[in-house]
Amino acid sequence: MPFKERSFPLGWRPLDDIERWPRRTMDGLRMVCEELNIHVDDKRRLYKDEVEFMNDLMKHYGLPYRDASLCALCNSQNEDLYDDYLSDAQKFRYNLVKARRYIGIPDRDEDPLNLTTVFYLKLPGSKPERLVRIGPKGCSCCCKFFSGERMHGYCRHILYVLRFILNCPKGLPFRDAFTLQEYDNIFAHSYPAQALKNAKYPNEDWRKVLDRITRDAEVITYTFKKDELLVCLNCFRPLYPGNCASPCLGCGNLVHSDCGGKKDLPRIKADFIYLEHPEPKSTNCAICRDREQWEVWTQSRGPPLPGDYKSCEEEMEQEPLESKLERIRYKKVGEQYTYHGSQE
């Protein structure tokens, strides 16, 4: 099972989900801040709320914190709107063109919380690209800018990146901001991170699988294992039964054979996908094109969380290449064969 959907990390809650604290707790936070010479009021001379007090204390002690002042706060009443955007995102199949990471802005201090990753998306067969920014201070998309709306706030492009590329569970994207540790862990459990780990294991190299199948095979099928998840590294959508895929020449992970086409990919009621030998001059996947950056971005600097990828790594070490080949069938001159060359 080379790819794995991320489970929701325990203890991760949105800022707007913090219950109103008792007054005595607020008074205690205010007293602690005063003793540490931390301002207890904002620029408008109004007392800060409990989140701002906690942020100031965490920042004072060098601990991860969420910058509440520069984030678009999410109201729990917007959950229906989030579901609408997610449903809308599921209807599309965006290709990742490239991803770039920036820290800070020229002429400003390089605060780690200014870290942002920009994703360039485009629909198959179209030229316009959508720029989606994902960072600790929130998410934004250029589609809102061009439509005259506020840059912050959800749209289908933001949800596509969070849900399908970064492999966030449904509840996780519905947040106003992330701590730096959370941000690192999101990338460490993303599909690009899993794909890079797959590339280090010969047993997960689909180039090696197809090298053992004759090139004059007319049709090649691969039958899924139970609960097996395969993900295309151009659009990051699952390979569904009936889809056709071929290995990336750079890393050996699978990509949709027609991921750049305009037509939607077919699905059939079956338990297999079609495989094709890679073309000698085929384009590498989206991760291979920016491999050096992804290798740095997807190294977690925090403790492992629920839904960690380690169990999959152990399984990949134990699973021989033969287990994949045993689920291969191919046709040649109208006859069906197994990998071992026996006719069925």
| Same domain for 155 and 100 | yes
| Same domain for 188 and 206 | no
pLDDT digits 0-9 by tens, 161-188: 999 999 988 766 656 567 777 788 889 8
Q: What count of other Cβ atoms lies within 10 Å of the Cβ of residue 211?
A: 11
pTM score, two decimals? Answer: 0.78
| Same domain for 277 and 222 | yes
| Same domain for 177 and 136 | yes
* Chain-centroid distance, C-alpha 265: 21
| Same domain for 242 and 275 | yes
Specify the pLDDT at position 20: 47
Specify the pLDDT at position 141: 84
Specify the pLDDT at position 323: 83
From the list 311, 255, 304, 308, the residue with the least C-alpha distance to 279 is: 255
Measured between alpha carbons, how far is 245 from 235 in angstroms, rounded to an integer? Answer: 12
**Which whole number is the average pLDDT over 198-218?**
89
Domain annotation covers residue 2: no
Q: How far apart are the first and last CA of the chain?
A: 27
**pLDDT of residue 59 exceeding 50:** yes
Domain annotation covers residue 1: no
Bridge-based pairing of strands 272-275 and 244-247 is: parallel
Mean residue pLDDT of the chain comes to: 78
pLDDT digits 0-9 by tens, 15-53: 444 444 555 666 777 788 888 888 877 666 666 776 677
Bridge-based pairing of strands 130-135 and 219-223 is: unpaired
Across 29-38, 97-106, 205-214, 325-334, least confident range: 97-106
Handedness of CA 207, 212, 218, 223 (dihedral sign): negative
pLDDT band at 344 (very low <50, low <70, confident <90, very high): low
**DSSP annotation string for 75-141:** PGGGHHHHHHHHHHHHT---EEEEEEEE-S-TTS---GGG-EEEEEEE-TT----EEEEEETTEEEE
| Same domain for 155 and 108 | yes
pLDDT band at 13 (very low <50, low <70, confident <90, very high): low
Specify the pLDDT at position 85: 83
Across 11-25, 38-52, 223-237, 319-333, least confident range: 11-25
Measured between alpha carbons, how far is 151 from 173 in angstroms, rounded to an integer? Answer: 16
Measured between alpha carbons, how far is 234 from 255 in angstroms, rounded to an integer? Answer: 6
| Same domain for 109 and 53 | no
Amino acid at residue number 119: F
pLDDT digits 0-9 by tens, 115-167: 889 999 998 878 778 889 888 777 888 886 655 554 456 788 988 999 999 99
Domain, as residue range, for 271: 201-338
Specify the pLDDT at position 227: 85
Specify the pLDDT at position 73: 41
User: How many structural domains compose the chain?
Assistant: 3
pLDDT digits 0-9 by tens, 261-296: 555 566 677 789 999 998 888 888 999 999 999 999
pLDDT band at 74 (very low <50, low <70, confident <90, very high): very low
| Same domain for 324 and 205 | yes
Measured between alpha carbons, how far is 38 from 60 in angstroms, rounded to an integer? Answer: 8
| Same domain for 268 and 304 | yes
